[in-house]
Amino acid sequence: SSSPPPRVFRSKLPDITIPDHLPLHDYCFEKISEFSDRPCLIVGATGKSYSFSDTHLFSKRAAATFSKLGVKKGDFIMILLKNSAEFVFSFMGSSMIGSVATTANPYYTAAEISKQLKMSGAKLVVTYSHCVDKLRESDVDLTIVTVDDPPENCLSFSMVYDADENDVPFVEIDWNDAVSLPFSSGTTGTPKGVVLTHKSMVSSIAQQVDGENPNIYLGTNDVVLCVLPMFHIFSLSSIVLISIRSGATILLIEKFEIETSMSLIERHGVTVATVVPPMVLMMVKNPKVADFNLSSIRMVISGAAPLGKQIEEALMERIPQAVIGQGYGMTEAGPVLSMCTAFAKEPPMPTKIGSCGRVVRNSELKIIDPKTGVSLTYNQPGEICIRGPQIMKGYLNDPVATSLTVDVEGWLHTGDIGYIDEEEEIFIVDRIKEIIKYKGFQVAPVELESLLLTHPSIMEVAVVAENDEIAGEVPVAFVVCSAGNQLTQEEVKEFIAKQVVFYKRLHRVYFVPTIPKLPSGKILKKDLKAKLSNS
């Protein structure tokens, strides 16, 4: 007789032993004696390279420096940097002294940075001199270290290189201690600090690259493209940390400019390109790409937003030798839930176009009916939930939001709707959470709605996602003006633009007489989205 169809899904690859005694930095650097002289970091813009032993050494010196500056175990530091060697040294250095790195976008406005500083309680920031004025606007008492010439009352990051690595104090690190604090709005509300512990991050990295048959097979001959921002967990975990663990070289690029990036891929022989869908779109649409030799690329990992089938097919034509597949992650999930198994060492387990691969090892995944909570089997779409050692400890200082996301049985509810086919491949089809994804970046509608409601001429508002060919989704607003007041679309857009980072800007404003709501006050966003022409 046949067994009943599964309700909890596990990896087709065998489970692995996750080293549950190592703090994140020791785990990442565990094997460096095997490749200490190989390049760990190459700075794309300058060509400067740092070996694994340099990277380890400068991380220890950063740890010693932060410690001298008063950072203690359990304290928070903010890294406000683009992709750079200093980012890596600061992050690893912070881990070494048991402090927690909260990472943020250097393009954030003063108000956005201030919120994150206050919510995290960070006392030290590593940044650029041109960000110092923004930092000073928040009335937080800060030690500011700049990687370029320090302005008055700031310190220079160059002190790290002169520090003594033997000055790193001994700290006892528990596996359940926090190590990083990325921000995410999750399934509801505004951005919150996501507490990722040594346990979560080590587990997720191990699930990606450890074991006899790693899900993502990386080695010392790989050169991994790092153009996605490291302040986002996708890049931090699935580029930087997995490469350090595996002995692969990381090619650091600050900003995705198509020709510069392609020429750096060619020059350094990039073998693994980790990307977001808008980058793939540019790689297939831009005719100049054909001028570059991309034959070194053997693997393309796309994630953070859905990758359209046609775009994936077009990329396969452009780089036919490469295996192309998706990773599916969520900051709160540590971050990886599923990964294309065609990236594994052996035997190749191909995945279908459009799939997000299969659930990672040492984890359980289920699909539930979002209304009843009943778990579903093959081919039935529902909310994706995951349980395993990699998921977040919780939101910082927010037990209510935590319990809405991680239930008492330890299942993390993603707010994504998907199904699993009979070959255990995951397909995401919808999202029941409010979040808008602009080129893979999160935009929280509530954040923009609260800002709009501070405008004296605005009475009611709803922000929703509008589909966009390039960005995937863009935020748009429905606005009800207060009696006797009128605004133009430009005025509303401008009002928001000066308060938020570029990707949260409104792309359109629709003036409406009322916002459709349930008697409870809940806005009927589905009805509003249906009004948009291209949704």
Task: Using alpha carbons, select from 506, 520, 511, 526 the residue that is nearest to residue 445.
Answer: 506
User: Which pair of tokens denotes residue 162?
Assistant: 């002169």
Phi-psi region of 340 (alpha: psi -120 to 50; beta: other; left: phi over 0): beta
> What is the smallest separation between the CB atom of 433 and ligand AYL, expressed in angstroms?
7
Identify the residue among 191, 193, 329, 445 touching ligand AYL (CB under 6 A).
Answer: 329
Continuous H helices in 121-249 = 132-136, 159-162, 198-209, 233-235, 242-246
Asked if residue 280 lies in contact with residue 261, where contact means CB atoms within 8 angstroms, the answer is no
Residues 179-198 that bind ligand AYL (CB under 6 A): 184
Q: What length does the chain have?
A: 535
The one-character DSSP state at 342 is G
Cβ nearer to ligand AYL, comparing 244 with 428: 428
Cβ nearer to ligand AYL, comparing 115 with 437: 437
Asked if residue 55 lies in contact with residue 249, where contact means CB atoms within 8 angstroms, the answer is no
> What is the smallest separation between the CB atom of 150 and ligand AYL, expressed in angstroms?
32
Residues 235-274 that bind ligand AYL (CB under 6 A): 237-238
Cβ nearer to ligand AYL, comparing 81 with 305: 305
Identify the residue among 52, 58, 234, 495 touching ligand AYL (CB under 6 A).
Answer: 234
Residues 289-318 that bind ligand AYL (CB under 6 A): 303-306
Residue 18: C-alpha distances to residues 198, 307, 345, 399, 449 (Å): 12, 31, 18, 28, 43
> What is the smallest separation between the CB atom of 82 and ligand AYL, expressed in angstroms?
18
Q: Which listed range, 124-132, 321-329, 454-462, 478-486, lies at the site for ligand AYL (CB under 6 A)?
A: 321-329
> What is the smallest separation between the CB atom of 418 and ligand AYL, expressed in angstroms?
8
Cβ nearer to ligand AYL, comparing 211 with 303: 303
Task: Using alpha carbons, select from 313, 453, 433 the residue that is nearest to residue 384.
Answer: 433
Q: Which listed range, 64-72, 150-158, 327-335, 403-411, lies at the site for ligand AYL (CB under 6 A)?
A: 327-335
Burial of residue 400, with CB atoms counted within 10 A of its CB: 0-12 exposed, 13-18 middle, 19 or more buried: exposed
Residues 137-166 that bind ligand AYL (CB under 6 A): none
Q: How many residues bind ligand AYL (CB under 6 A)?
A: 24
Measured from each CB, the residue nearest to ligand AYL is: 329
User: Residue 275 corresponds to which amino acid?
Assistant: V
> What is the smallest separation between the CB atom of 259 and ligand AYL, expressed in angstroms?
26
Identify the residue among 104, 218, 240, 336 touching ligand AYL (CB under 6 A).
Answer: 336
11 contacts ligand AYL (rule: CB under 6 A): no
> What is the smallest separation between the CB atom of 252 and ligand AYL, expressed in angstroms?
18
Asked if residue 10 lies in contact with residue 363, where contact means CB atoms within 8 angstroms, the answer is yes
**What is the CB neighbour count within 10 angstroms for residue 128?**
17
Could you give the string, one character per residue 459-498, with x where binding to ligand AYL holds by CB under 6 A and - elsewhere?
Answer: ----------------------------------------
> What is the smallest separation between the CB atom of 133 and ligand AYL, expressed in angstroms?
28
What are the residues whose beta carbons fall under 8 Å from the beta carbon of 244, sequence distance 6 or more?
A: 28, 29, 40, 52, 55, 88, 250
- CA-CA distance, 511 to 528, in Å (whole number)? 12
Query: Binding residues for ligand AYL, per CB under 6 A?
Result: 184, 233-234, 237-238, 303-306, 326-331, 335-336, 356, 414, 416, 428, 431, 437, 442
